């Protein structure tokens, strides 16, 4: 198993380019199953989850080609060879469930193993299944698999009990080829959903209202191929913003949609970080600044993202004064607290809130990545800690960050990726 060795960092400085968004490219790749025509996707990040989704599409019968840069994919699914997604692939990545809607819409049937992914809390797929049933599908769960069949899908008005991102995406894709109109109420509003809707509309779908809590989809008989550029990754953006703050550095972050990181910008401004939104990108500077504590409460978009909570918590352990972080999205998203406490953070958890005394001089230690974003937090904490930090189980990090070590080294960080055998 590979690991990162992180030494205390000098103030990071320079420029960094943000990659395409993991949480946008995966549903877009799944949506390519909706047509027999070729779909061309640009700014594809080099991630393990992308590799898993590619393998899944190829298993279904798609041909997936990439160029020399790896940032462009050409997906052709002339004929779907199988509608079953095997356990071995699906359990590697929760987003595999996003193939269910496209398969059901295009072929009328699907059989997919129950998904895996980070163990950050309950993320039930009942909202996906309820929506499919309301569109006329019959659903069975047996022996760890979900089986869905629908000779004809019909539009419906579907209310989501929670604004689930995955359910919103899956139901939009399924409804794109359903007969009649579908309305999703209490839909998720994330930028990645807007990106998916834009791609589907380029394919000939009729999706309106993405980015609001009511999305309307007028079903069409068929979809065609399209070309699309994936939006920048807002969580990678936020992670490098925190890196500038925690190392007292100065970073120009390129390929950014600043509107997508408004909550992160707001909280870092409260901490006293200097941020400029210019034509060349987002300049984030904390050099020669005494940073301040702040309180955070995670919420669905456009609230503060749960995927940035661990990284901000790492920063707040180092600023003078107490902070409180309240997690409302995933009940198990404090697993990184024990790892930060190994480094001297002294964080206390009560229910869904974590009290951070702040002002701690973190010490390097052996820590593990308990999930994707927690892993990023461990790397950031290692940059602020005295001595050497060994971050293990970094396969979590590599599911969601493209060339993280290389990008940090280009800014002056001391971080090395090694294999245990080295």
Burial 372-387 (b: 16+ CB within 10 A, else e): bbbbbbbbbbbbbbee
Out of 39, 83, 118, 369, pick the active-site residue: 118
| 62 three-state secondary structure | coil
Catalytic residue flag (residue 118)? yes
Q: What is the DSSP string of 219-276?
A: --S-----EEEPPB-HHHHHHHHHHHHHTT-EEEEES--GGGGHHHHHHHHHTT-EEE
With helix as H, strand as E and coil as C, how does 17-45 read?
ECCECHHHHHHHHHHHHHCCCCEEEECCC
Contact predicate 404/22, CB 8 Å = no
Q: Token pair for residue 12?
A: 């990071």
- C-alpha closest to that of 158 among 177, 132, 140: 132
Cα 237–240–246 angle (5° rounding)?
A: 140
- C-alpha closest to that of 34 among 106, 96, 98, 83: 106
Cα 379–354–268 angle (5° rounding)?
A: 60
**Cα–Cα distance measured from residue 345 to residue 356, given in angstroms and rounded to the nearest whole number:** 8
Q: Among all residues, which ones are annotated catalytic?
A: 118
């Amino acid at each position: 198993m590979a690991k990162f060795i992180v030494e205390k960092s000098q103030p990071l400085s320079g420029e960094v380019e943000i990659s395409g968004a993991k949480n946008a490219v995966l549903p877009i790749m799944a949506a390519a199953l909706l047509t027999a025509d070729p779909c061309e996707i640009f700014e594809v990040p080099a991630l393990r989850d992308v590799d898993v989704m590619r393998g899944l599409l190829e298993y279904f019968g798609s041909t997936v080609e990439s160029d020399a840069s790896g940032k462009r994919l050409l997906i052709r699914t002339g004929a779907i060879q199988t509608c079953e997604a095997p356990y071995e692939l699906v359990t590697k990545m929760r987003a595999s469930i996003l193939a269910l809607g496209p398969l059901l819409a295009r072929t009328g049937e699907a059989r997919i193993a129950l998904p895996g992914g980070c163990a950050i809390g309950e993320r039930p797929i009942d909202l996906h299944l309820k929506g499919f049933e309301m569109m006329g599908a019959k659903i069975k769960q047996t022996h760890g698999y979900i089986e869905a069949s629908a000779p004809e899908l019909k539009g419906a008005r579907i209310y989501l009990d929670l604004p689930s991102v995955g359910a919103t995406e899956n139901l939009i894709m399924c409804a794109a080829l359903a007969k009649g109109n579908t309305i999703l109420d209490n839909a998720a509003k994330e930028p990645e959903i807007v990106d998916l809707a834009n791609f589907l509309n380029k394919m000939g779908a009729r999706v309106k209202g993405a980015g609001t809590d009511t999305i309307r989809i007028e079903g069409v008989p068929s979809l065609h191929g399209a070309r699309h550029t994936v939006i920048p990754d807002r969580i990678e953006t936020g992670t490098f913003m925190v890196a500038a703050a925690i190392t007292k550095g100065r970073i120009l972050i390129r390929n950014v949609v600043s509107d997508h990181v408004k909550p992160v910008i707001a909280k870092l401004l409260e901490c006293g970080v200097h941020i400029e939104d210019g034509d060349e990108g987002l300049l984030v500077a904390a050099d020669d600044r005494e940073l301040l504590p702040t309180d955070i409460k995670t919420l669905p978009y456009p609230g503060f993202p749960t995927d940035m909570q661990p990284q901000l918590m790492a920063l707040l352990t180092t600023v003078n004064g107490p902070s409180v972080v309240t997690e409302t999205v995933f009940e198990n998203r404090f697993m990184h607290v024990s790892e930060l406490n190994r480094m001297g953070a002294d964080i206390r958890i009560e229910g869904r809130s974590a009290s951070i005394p702040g002002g701690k001089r973190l010490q390097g230690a052996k820590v593990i990545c308990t999930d994707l974003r927690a892993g990023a937090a461990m790397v950031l904490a290692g940059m602020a800690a005295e001595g050497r930090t060994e971050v293990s189980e970094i396969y979590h990090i590599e599911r969601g960050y493209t060339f993280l070590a290389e990008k940090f080294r280009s800014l002056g960080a001391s971080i090395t990726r090694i294999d245990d055998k080295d």
